[in-house]
Structure formats: structure tokens, C-alpha cells
Structure 1
Amino acid sequence: MNEEKKPLGGTAIKPVGWDRSGLEKFQYFLYDPDTGAFLSRTPSSWVKIILFYSIYYSLLTIFWVSCLQIFFMTLPNDTPKWTLDESIIGSNPGLGLRPRMQDSRIDSSMYALAAGSKDTVPTNPEGEGSKNIDYAVRMKHFLGVYQNQTGLDNCSSDANQVRVEGERNCIFDISVLAECGEYPYGYLVNQPETNVAEPCILLKFNKIWNWSPKPVDESKLDNPEYDTMSENLKTRILKSMDKNYVWVDCAGRNPADRESVRIEYFPPNQGIHLKYFPYRGNTYHTPLVAIKLRQVGEPVYYGQLIHLECRAWFDGVIHDTKDKLGLVQFELQLQPMN
């Protein structure tokens, strides 16, 4: 008698409900009457997974908050943790320029101006444009912060010494900037005797917490580190009765640049009082020196790119053109009106 032959291998066991489709399949996903599961999990499975993630995220939150608390406990409340030489900024500030460039040219250092501009209408209220008047508007916005004198002291009668701990910051009187503190700051031709713009540029120190500069020691002016200081500034320092200043010295970088423009300083002594230092936060008026770039006779050097450099001078200053330490470099171009 012949036995029936069976195929080798197993037979796949299909799960219950494998042939469901469409709405019936969705209904069983929401609730399965056979197992009591809803949304594909039984009640006991939901309780276990909710309990697990509740504990997991609670512990994770406690760990994260603890790390933040430990981090903030290591920081002072009102001052940076690392200052001066311990910080990345160091104790050798660079110089900044105002007015700043418009946002679209924020990485540029070239003041490209129309030599004979009389246009008094800015591109917009913020002066975000390339017209001469836009530079003046941005300068006006910058100087506007000096109207806030809350929490500042009038130090006009104080000794010209750095402020000690606990003393409030000093008011900076922008009247010392003379015509460079008055709108439109030389960016427009608005005087009958002039036929070309003679812009003002403000020089400011980058703020470094608790930096107290020391004045130049006049006995060291013959040392090699002062070889790049102009003879005019050396003479000014030697003749000055009050030496407690941080000095600023500007010039063209090349002989052709120096022949094309004359630099006038406001205040005329080229210095910033030590009483405006150090910076310790709160309301603060950044001290300024203004330079006015005047033409040297005729002809006007239309279209010439004039390269300029301003250096700060105080005891121990380091000048580095690569990292812009202790100095700032910029360009001026006066373009003829069409």
C-alpha cells in the first residue's frame, strides 16, 4: 500500500486577523475585543511604557538641571569669570570706528563717499544705505546713547585717574568733539566755503572688563617700541602737563596717502582721560576721539583710495596689523558727483 507523500518544510502560521483590510483593520487597531488592546497595546503594556518613560525623563531632567546649577555656581553674578590676560580678548584692546558700515557691507572698512553730496534725505530712518547722509544718520544713532546719563557721575572736576572699585562711571561730554559732535558731522557739503565733504570718524576702544590703562612713560619715548609714534605726538606728550591719557595717533599708511588728506583731532590733544576707565558694566559712556579728514589744498584727489591707520598709545601697548591689536585700519574714497 502506497503512503501519500508530503512536501518537505513547514507550513507558515498566519496570525489572527491577517486577512482584515480597510475599515475593519483600523477598527481593530483602535480596539481589539479579543485581547483588550487599544492603539496596538494592552492596558498593562501602556502602564509599563508610561511608567518607564516617566522615570527616564524625570531622571534626565534632574541630571540636566543639576549640571546647569553646578555650571552657574562657578560663575560670578556681575562680572565675567575670566578677564584681561586670562580671557580670550586679552588686555590689549583694538580700536573701533563709528559710524559703522551699513549691514550689507558690515565686513568692509572703506568709507566711499560722494565728494559734493548735499542730499539730506536718508535711504531710511536707520540710515541703512550708502549715501553720505546715511553715514551721518548712523553716527547720530550711535551718539544718541550718550544722552542717557542715568547712574553716571559728572567727573569734570575729578582728578584724571582711573576709577576705583565702587565708583560710578563718568559722563562723557560729546561737546569735546566740537564740530564732529554736530550733525551731519562733515558728511555733507553745507558750508559756503567748502566744496567737498570732510567727514568725521569716531575712534573708540573695544571694551575690556576691568582694563585700566597706564599712560606712556615719557622717559621711554626714545625706546624702539615707540619708533612708529609720530614726532608730533611725542612732542605733545612731552609738553603736556597732565600725562594721564591714552593717546591716539592717525596717519596715511603710504606717502601718497599722507599727501592727500590732513587729519584734525577732537579733542585737539589726541587723548582720552584715564577717568573713563576701567569698564565694569552698568551704564557706560565709551570715551571717544574724533578725527576730521580734511582735504589738502587743490586738486581734490577724486577717486583715490586713501589708506589710513590709527594707533592707540599707552604703556605696554602691542600693535599687530594681522589681529588688529592696538590699532585700526580703514580706507576713504571721495567719488566725484556726476
Structure 2
Amino acid sequence: MCSARYRKENEAVISRLPPTKEERSFQAFLWNRKAGTVLGRTASSWAKIGLFYIVFYAFLAGFFSLLMFVFYQTLDYHVPKYTGEESLLRNPGLSFRPRMDYIDDLRPTIFYSPKYGKSFTFSIDRFLEPYIHRPSNAIDCLPVDEGLFSDSVCYFDIYNLNTTCSKDNDWGYETNSPCILLKLNRMFHWRPVPLLDLNELPEGLQQHINSLADPHEALRQNAWVWCESKEVEIEQLSPGLPISFFPYFNQKGYLAPFVFVRVLNLSVEQKVTVRCRAWASNIQHQRDNRLLGEAVIHFQLY
């Protein structure tokens, strides 16, 4: 009895002794033959913790998959979930080509030389590729059409545009009079409401509309894009966007109307700012915000 008690007391004392140098080594941490542990855990301990994490992550993956499944049931792959008054967008933004570099305090700047203008020419050419061939469901829309509400689309004929900008002259980028293309971004079920009061439009645009054969009819049939610059002259021969091309609702082959604007006679090293706005009754403007109907483009010729 005493001998057994003595052995237990000795074992208790030994168990409280600090581990030996061999037991504290990294090799012993990786594999301790005496304790039967790997990385400080026995086989049963590793099995328990492994089973726990398998069940835990399987539950998380299943829960996430269920949420995604429910979420995707609320989406339509052809129509945005929120349009019109429910959407955060009140009107489409004004976008332009060519694509450009951002220099000088991150302002969009077309920084080019007539000798090296091919990249800008290529940007416009690539944008116009879908316009070259007439879509199979395209129709010739009349200016007075009430808008598109079927699977057909209006045909936008790029070969009959009233502009001096063309592929033959490389869109002006081999001269000091480059062109820019402007259009409204696509926005579901949105249709521009024409401005019928000339006094609400810029003075230059008023003069252009008054020079047309029927100014009142032109006002009724078009939204407008008009650009101005304090440094150079701007050529805008056809600034109207026919309302008959709207609304957009993801029709196959839809091609948005656009206008060309030409900046005339840039001087070398001259920094030029061109400010463009889209005009319709239901287009809001915010200065320097192309998402709200305004675009500002900077030019510099070198």
C-alpha cells in the first residue's frame, strides 16, 4: 500500500517538472513519439477538430448557396429590377468617344499629335463597327414615331450623317481639327421629353434650330446635344437625337443615336476645354458630371 502511494506521489512530482530540452524542440512539436502527438495534438484530437470544421464550413456553404438561390429568383436577366421612379438614375449620362488618357489632375484629356492620332481613330472605328451592317430587325423610323414598343429597332444610318467627320479623314485626328462622338447612355424605359421652349436652350443651339426649315417640328422630334468652348470654335452641323429611337428595353440589335462635334483649328500646346450638355425636359444637369447629362472634354495638340 505504501509502495503504491509512494509511486503515485513520485509520478505527480515528475509530471510537474518542466519539459526537457528535447521535449521543447521543434522536432518534438512536429512529432512527439512519447506523447503520440502531431503538431501538439493526438490523432483523436485532430479527428474531432477536423470533423467540426467540415460540418461548420459545409453549413456555411449551404447557407450561402441558399441565399444566392433565393436572390437570383428575384432577378430578371433582361430587365433591371428597378427602373423609372424606383431607380436611382433619373436620366442617362452623356458619354463620348474616343477613349482617352487622364492627365492634368485626372481630367479627361485628348492629348494627341496629327502624326500619332491612330489610337483615337481606332477608338471611334471600333465603336462604329455595329453600325456598319443593318440589323435584321431594323426599321426606318419616322421622326414623328411615338417610340419603340416592340422587338424592332430604328436603323441609324451612319452614311447619311450631316457632318464633316468621317473615316476618310480619320475623324480629324490627322489634322488640328479633331472630332468627338457623343451619345446618351442606354437607360431602360426612358424616353426624352422634348423642350418646346427655345428660350430654355443655349443661344447657339437656338440659332441652329431657327435656321432649320421647321424649328417647331425639330423641337418636337429631338433631344439635343450641344457643346461650347471659350477657346476655340466648335462645328455642330446636326446636334439632334431623334426621340423615335427611344425608349431602350434591351432590344436585339439596338443602336443608340449619336452626334459628331468637331473642334476647329487647335493650336500647338493650346489647352482647350469643351463642355457638352444633353437637352430635354427630363434631363437633369450637374456641372462636370457626365452621369447627369454633361460631359467635359479637354484637348491639347502637341
TM range (shorter): 0.7 to 0.9
Matching residue of 1:211: 190
1:277-308 CA distance string (max 9 Å, x none): 2222354323210122334xxxx755433332
SS of the residue corresponding to residue 109 of structure 1 reads strand
Distance in 2 (alpha carbons) for counterparts of 1:226 and 1:318: 13
User: Superposition pairs for residues 1-338 of structure 1, below 5 Å?
Assistant: 13-14=15-16, 18=20, 20=22, 26=27, 30=31, 32=33, 40-88=40-88, 90-102=89-101, 107-114=106-113, 117=114, 119=115, 131-147=116-132, 153-158=137-142, 160-164=145-149, 166-177=150-161, 179-183=164-168, 184-189=170-175, 197-217=176-196, 220-222=197-199, 225-226=200-201, 230-236=205-211, 239=215, 241=217, 243-252=220-229, 254=230, 257=231, 260-265=232-237, 268=238, 270-281=239-250, 282-295=252-265, 301-324=267-290, 325-335=292-302
User: How far 1:15 moved relative to its partner?
Assistant: 6.7
Q: How many residues are treated as equivalent by the alignment?
A: 284
Distance in 1 (alpha carbons) for counterparts of 2:177 and 2:78: 42
Q: Where does the alignment leave 5 or more consecutive residues of structure 1 unmatched?
A: 1-9, 120-130, 190-196
Aligned letter for 1:230?
L
Distance in 1 (alpha carbons) for counterparts of 2:44 and 2:259: 76
Distance in 2 (alpha carbons) for counterparts of 1:332 and 1:61: 52
Is this contact kept in 2: 1:249–1:310, CA < 8 A?
Answer: yes
User: How far 1:163 moved relative to its partner?
Assistant: 0.8
The TM-score with structure 1 as length reference comes to 0.69
Distance in 2 (alpha carbons) for counterparts of 1:28 and 1:230: 82
> 1:45–1:148: structure 2 CA closer, same or farther, 3 Å change rule?
farther
Backbone CA RMSD of aligned residues: 3.5
1:193-251 CA distance string (max 9 Å, x none): xxxx321111111222221112222xx334xx446663314425752545321122222
SS of the residue corresponding to residue 230 of structure 1 reads helix
Identity %: 26
Is this contact kept in 1: 2:288–2:296, CA < 8 A?
Answer: no
User: How far 1:11 moved relative to its partner?
Assistant: 5.9
> 1:154–1:318: structure 2 CA closer, same or farther, 3 Å change rule?
same
User: How far 1:145 moved relative to its partner?
Assistant: 3.5
Larger relative helix fraction: 2
1:58-91 CA distance string (max 9 Å, x none): 2111211122222222323322212244333x22
SS of the residue corresponding to residue 291 of structure 1 reads strand
